[in-house]
Amino acid sequence: MQDKVLNTATSASQAVLPSISRLATATWHYVPGIILMLVVGYAGKIVASYIPHSEYVLFAIAIGMVVRNAFNLPAYFAAGVATYDLWMKIGIVCLGARLALQEVFSIGGSGILMVVVEISVAILTAAYLGKIFGLKEKLASLLGVGIGVCGVSAIISTTSAIEAEEDDATYAIATILLFGAIMLFVYPFLGRLIGLSDTAFGYWTGLSIDNTAEAVATGFAFSEAAGNIATVVKLSRNAVMGVVVLLMALHYARKGITGEVQNKAAFLWSRLPKFLIGFLAFSLLATIGFITPAQASVLNNASKWLFMITFAGVGLSTDFRRLRAGIKPFLVGFGVETVVSVVTFALVYLLIP
């Protein structure tokens, strides 16, 4: 009997140990890149501490860009650096604990109107300029949705929904990444030059910058208050991604270019950014007092560290060699980004006190 028990235990350990070993190997795969992001992000904080009235965000991103493009980084950093988007999403969820629901929904009717106008302007301008420059219709659509809604995520979702070619997605993503990198540095400079308030800058950033990571980073590069507002406004755009992608899919299906969307509810759910639900849940729990002020403070500090990793990851993921997308997508992207920036600035000027 004892021998049988011993044999069973031995067999179980032999089955479990390889699984643990594989898990440890898989986990270690990410560690070097995550450590690199921590080092780069903290280096940005150190540099900013020596420069009065500066935010560390741009320094963390700039150092990351230099490290990525000036040095030949070993391949074992890649997997960890690629997780920066995950840390951003967790950071946004944690940020929900310090923003009461009334703050989250403070954008109100005027904010919703601005989001609808911004998305419409981006898509229509991309379609118009795409025709002028002779871009394929689907590539122009990808640029419009990417600029109007939420950058790379929207492009990837729309690519499958409208059955676009992979090359079109690559061109659109490269264009989005290029302008995201430019806006990270141009927007804070313009905001201070014009003398925008934290609220106005947060709205402008959240409305007009494409990728969530870049929008959050640009907001926090101006101030913490602007970063919080930019995050909420940007999440409002992200929330309608499913609807916009569905409408785009129906548009091409109606033209007979793609297949019909069978289950619209399932389609919308699959395109809804799930971290948005976590953000709202934490905000609700904080509002009703389930999350105490002390716990909210801990989560807020956690979000700051997670954002630090994210901002470093944005810089370390910016490979300038990948941003050569061809002149036509670049010109169309430049035109759309310019129109969106001007229109959203005008909306903020008119509607935000």
Please write the tens of the pLDDT for every residue from 138-182. 999 999 999 999 888 888 888 888 888 878 887 888 888 888 888
Distance, CA of 271 to CA of 238 (rounded, Å): 10
Q: Residues 57-68: pLDDT tens digits?
A: 888 988 999 999
Q: With a cut of 90, say whether residue 218 has pLDDT above it.
A: yes
Assess if residue 13 is contained within a domain: no
Q: Residue 191: pLDDT band by 50, 70, 90 thresholds?
A: very high
- In a domain, residue 8? The reply is no
Q: What is the pLDDT of residue 5?
A: 46
Rounded Cα–Cα distance for residues 136 and 134 (Å): 7
Q: Is the pLDDT of residue 321 over 80?
A: no
CATH number where 324 lies: 1.20.1530
Domain assignment present for 15: no
Residues of the domain holding 81: 31-351
Q: How far, in Å, CA of 117 to CA of 123, rounded? A: 10
Instruction: Give the whole-angstrom CA distance, residue 181 versus residue 186.
Output: 9
Domain count, the chain: 1
- Examine residue 14 and state whether it is found in any structural domain, yes or no: no
Does 284 reside within a domain? Answer: yes
| Structure-model confidence comparison of residues 262 and 108, the more confident one | 108
**What are the pLDDT digits (tens) for 77-104?**
999 999 988 998 898 888 888 777 666 6
pLDDT of res. 141: 94
7 belongs to a structural domain: no
pLDDT tens per residue, range 5-18: 445 545 544 544 45
Helix 151-161 and helix 166-194, axial crossing angle in degrees, nearest 10: 150
- Please determine, for residue 269, whether its predicted confidence score (pLDDT) is greater than 90: no
| Rounded Cα distance, 243 and 239, in Å | 9
pLDDT digits (tens, 9 = 90+) for 303-318: 889 989 988 998 898 8
Mean pLDDT along residues 200-228: 93
CA geometry: angle at 261 spanning 260 and 266, to 5°?
165
Which tokens go with 60?
């963390």
- pLDDT of amino acid 286: 86
